[in-house]
Amino acid sequence: MSALQSVAIDTGVEAEREILFRVVNRVAIITLNRPAALNALSHAMVRELAVLVEHCRTDEGIVALVLKGAGAKGFCAGGDVREVHRLAKNGDSRWLAFFVDEYRLDYALHKFPKPVVALLDGVSMGGGMGLGQGARLRIVTERSKIAMPETRIGFLPDVGATRFLSVMPAEVELYVGLTGVTLSGADALRLQLADLCVPAEWLGTFEERLQRMSHAGDLMVALRGVFEPPCNIIPHAALGPFTQLILRHFDRRSSIERIVATLRHDLEREPAREVKQWLQSAYDAMIGHSPTMLYVTREALLRGRQMTLAECFRMELGIVKRVIEEGDFCEGVRAQLIDKDRKSRWAPATLAEVRSERVRHFLSSPWKRETHPLVGLGVEEG
């Protein structure tokens, strides 16, 4: 019996399985089933997802794919960075295989020939965004929490963020990528990271509507009809009132130091309470996150706007390798997720100490083009 068959047939231990698979009315439903960890991705889950996605691609009886998370708190909180940290600290290079497999999985979803629907309900961050942004129909709710918060652990927005965040104006992309701000479902819709914002309660009954879905006519129209409620009131986008502040402070022509300086200057002018709260939050992120990775992330995000998806994936993987082996990742994970003392000892410790040669080093590929682990991606992109 194949691994796929065992997932589909052996339902007696579903509660213990980290990936659940079923088919409803010719639509495959893949559920990340690790709710206690907000469905964070282990390497085993990534490998199993890859098998299932390939099965869905080749099975003519399956016409579409729905990705969802178990529980009410999240779709997927990201990759299991604690495990990556453990392997890296022990000198075990198997962490690299996790990222290579994750990128290949995400690429397969981005290029999937059948409609993919991602239910980004609750926490959808990091690796969860890598999965969800490959979908053709991305659905958020009033309890969605969308973010790429990697700079706070000495990392960069990865899993394709240098590509999928580029749908925003550059200034907004820099704000989201550098600060790691958490977006609401309504914000995600406004910033083109989602296609529908619906009540979470409505998603709870989608399988009943899916069972009744007709296969006559346009499949995407039919799928959207399953997930879009008859009367949908979109919540207020909390970020909207701060658009002009974002455009002013995160100008693409501004250096990291200039961004910090303008935030500090406006804070000292004692602005109105809501504006001051926004300024303080952005300023705290910019002075608290890894100085090196703020520089690297800014450059990677701007470069990604001119790259194909495959090129972005290869660039990001190179940065991932360098920052885990030589950078602030292990210290950031220690301070934020393991010891939780929130006192990261970045190296170097300040923006002023970051040398341009070091930034260029992190952005240079550790591999020759022909030996890159993702060399095979993007042949169809030309």
The CATH fold assigned to 1-147+192-237 is 2-enoyl-CoA Hydratase; Chain A, domain 1 (3.90.226)
Tens digit of each residue's pLDDT (9 = 90 or more) over 68-95: 999 999 999 999 999 999 999 999 999 9
Which residues have C-beta within 8 Å of that of residue 125, sequence separation ≥ 6?
A: 76, 77, 78, 145, 146, 147, 148, 149
User: What is the spatial distance between Cα 151 and Cα 174, in angstroms, rounded to a whole number?
Assistant: 12
Q: Note if the bond before 348 is cis, omega within 30 degrees.
A: yes
Tens digit of each residue's pLDDT (9 = 90 or more) over 259-280: 999 999 999 987 889 999 999 9
Number of CB atoms found within 10 A of residue 60's CB: 6
Q: Which residues pair with 171 in a beta bridge?
A: none
Is 152-180+239-370 the same fold as 1-147+192-237? yes
Question: Are 70 and 33 within 8 A, CB to CB?
Answer: yes
Structure tokens at 238: 């909390």
Dump pLDDT digits (tens) for 234-252: 778 888 889 999 999 999 9
pLDDT of residue 236: 81
Task: Examine the pLDDT at 382 and tell me if it is beyond 50.
Answer: no
Distances (CA, A) of 176 to 3, 166, 240, 286, 311: 39, 11, 13, 12, 21
> Could you give the C-alpha distances from 39 to 78, 83, 202, in angstroms and in order?
8, 14, 21
The pTM of this model reads 0.93
User: 265, 256, 224, 274: which is closest to 353 by C-alpha?
Assistant: 256
Domain boundaries, the chain: 1-147+192-237, 152-180+239-370
Per-residue pLDDT reduced to its tens digit, 215-232: 999 999 999 999 999 887
266's tokens: 């406006």
For 124-181, write each residue's pLDDT tens digit: 999 999 999 999 999 999 999 999 999 999 999 999 999 999 999 999 999 999 999 9
Mean of the per-residue pLDDT values for the chain? 93
- Residue-wise pLDDT tens digits, 176-217: 999 999 999 999 999 999 999 999 999 999 999 999 999 999
pLDDT at res. 15: 57
Mean pLDDT value of segment 52-63: 98
Beta bridge partners of 194: none
Give residue 258's pLDDT. 96
Cα 116 versus chain centre, distance: 16
* Amino acid identity, position 355: R
Out of 3.10.150.10, 3.90.226.10, 3.40.50.2000, 1.10.4030.10, select the CATH number for domain 152-180+239-370: 3.90.226.10
pLDDT tens by residue, 273-308: 999 999 999 999 999 999 999 999 999 999 999 999
Under DSSP, the state recorded for 181 is P
Nearest partner of 156 among 305, 293, 356, judged by Cα: 293
d(CA 295, CA 303): 12
Residue 381's pLDDT band (boundaries 50, 70, 90)?
low
Query: Strand locations in the chain, DSSP E?
Result: 19-24, 27-32, 64-69, 74-76, 116-120, 123-125, 137-140, 145-147, 196-197
